[in-house]
Chains A and B, each alone.
Chain A
Amino acid sequence: MTMSAPTTQALPAIRLSNVCKSYGDYPVLKNIDASVARGEVVVICGPSGSGKSTLIRTINRLEEINSGSIVFNGQDIHAAMPPKQLNLLRSSIGFVFQSFNLFPHLSVVENVSMSPIRVKGVAPDVAYDKALKLLDRVGLAEKAKAYPAQLSGGQQQRVAIARALAMEPPVMLFDEPTSALDPEMVGEVLAVMKSLAAEGMTMLCVTHEMGFARDVADRIWFIDAGEILEAALPEEFFKAPRHPRAQRFLADLRH
């Protein structure tokens, strides 16, 4: 491993090597080389348009890459493979979207239990019980029978987290999970994410919540123009960022 990881486990959960992606002539990701250790919480931050979301979306192959490799649990996500294998890989990577993307035609408990039933073949009553437990965990047990349209943004995002957790993924990816929320709802979502981190979930979060980054992250990746300019411990990053672009970014945040 080229980068110093604070955790000592040998095998990284996710290893990105020389990942390049461009839209036509415009490069979005340039030679991304990084890894996430098991149990580690990495926060990706950077100005908008820097490639943060694209980067996180390449990890479960919602975006294709042009070259390089992304290895998750020993398997190259972007290798040629039959669709079944890709679906299986995706089912073991939890993904939380900025816009929640709950299924509006299904009740909350159906949203959480449908994928275990349809993808993993879990018996419906087992999946249902599990969904109720997960909803209880994100504080929404009483909303099980409600439909997404009846929930606030923060509640919807917590359901989306429960839905991802229902597949029991060893890794969770968050793509700006609080950016579409009213300010007073950000806290409830971050609290769920914090509790996940405390339980040792491997997490990769794109977020603008610097408080969360400072408190919860094991490492910060600062991205600009498709490059990881700085990968540092949060205390180092917030106190004394090395890269001038990161210094400017943090200075702008304080205003």
Chain B
Amino acid sequence: MITDMLNIISNYWLLLLVGQYPNGQLGGLANTLILSALSIALAFPISILFALARLSKWRLLRWPVTGLVYITRGVPLLMLVLWSYFLVPLLTGADVPSFVTMLTTLIVYQGAFLSEVVRGGIAALGPGQMEAAKALGHSYLGAMRFIILPQALYNMIPSIISTFVSTIKDTTIGYVINVPDLTFAASQVNNQLLTQPFQVFLILAVVYYAICWSLTQVANVIERRITRRRAGVTRGAATATLAPSKILSEQP
């Protein structure tokens, strides 16, 4: 069994790593990582904008975004992917590559989920911080940027990382619209071997687990560093009086 898996890896490592590249499209693990990184990198700022829009006092900003978030959260990702895959070319006549379709859908979908996390983080701070900022003359956006968001996002690191992890896992849905990612490559391998689906898909699971686990570890390091800095443990003098702070994003 282990030897089977090692054999598969040694025979198909290039396909699993980069797909048909350089003879065809880039695929495999490389594409999964690129898709994940782009989704996360773009969904995160968009989620902050969504959250701010939902907290805005202007209905023109609040209502459409609230509607978008409700719909996006209430519909399965697969459904959204199929919609954009079939409807966008139908409506616009444009030939959108499946990678771009998947990326945009993931950004909107995860952006909506993440915006609720961000909004929750802001709401959990209570009104005192914003009042203090206003009383000192900060503008609303200035207060958000320098006072509210740094705290809200820090407090929400565990939930934000969870959403990032599910973004990575959701890239596998791209398989149904032929995005050449790691799942797609593994499926190709399986189709060639025919007799070893368990081994092939175990390799797939291990790789996804490793990616998500690494992300969680990075988050732990960041969270620990910020916690330590905020507790002021620079000289070691104050450590004794402080309870050890909990690292909440430990679980993948």
Residue ranges of A at the interface with B (Cβ–Cβ < 8 Å): 60, 62, 83-84, 87-88, 90-95, 97, 99, 101-105, 107, 114-115, 118-120, 145-147, 149-150, 163-164, 167
Contact = CB atoms under 8 A, between A and B. Distances in A.
B232 A101 contact: no
Interface in B24-39: none
B7 interface: no
12 contacts: A62-B131, A62-B135, A87-B134, A87-B137, A91-B136, A92-B137, A103-B132, A115-B137, A119-B138, A147-B231, A150-B241, A164-B136
Contacts of A167: 136-137
Nearest to A102: B132
Interface string B212-252: 00000000000000000011101000100110000000000
B163 interface: no
Majority secondary structure of chain A interface residues (helix, strand, loop or mixed): mixed
B146 A114 contact: yes
A171 B151 CA distance: 30
A87 B230 CA distance: 29
B232 A90 contact: no
- Max chain A Cβ within 10 angstroms of own Cβ: one of B135, B146, B230: B135
Given A101-B132, A105-B151, A87 B232 contact: no
A92 to B, nearest CB: 8
A204 to B, nearest CB: 13
A119 B137 CA distance: 6
A101 B146 contact: no
Given A101-B128, A105-B150, A105-B154, A149 B230 contact: yes
Nearest to B134: A90
Contacts of B131: 62, 97, 101
Contacts of A84: 139
A147 B147 contact: no
Contacts of B198: none
Given A145-B234, A149-B231, A118 B134 contact: no
Contacts of B132: 95, 97, 101-103
Contacts of A91: 136-137
Contacts of A145: 232, 234
B129 interface: yes
Contact of B238 (A88, A93, A150): A150
A142 B241 CA distance: 18
A97 B129 CA distance: 11
A146 B154 CA distance: 19
A224 B242 CA distance: 43
B142 interface: yes
Contacts of B241: 150
B13 interface: no
B236 to A, nearest CB: 13
Nearest to B131: A62
B134 to A, nearest CB: 6
Contact of A118 (B146, B231, B238): B146
B86 interface: no
B70 interface: no
B137 A101 contact: no
- Max chain B Cβ within 10 angstroms of own Cβ: one of A60, A115, A149: A115
B140 interface: yes
Contacts of A102: 132
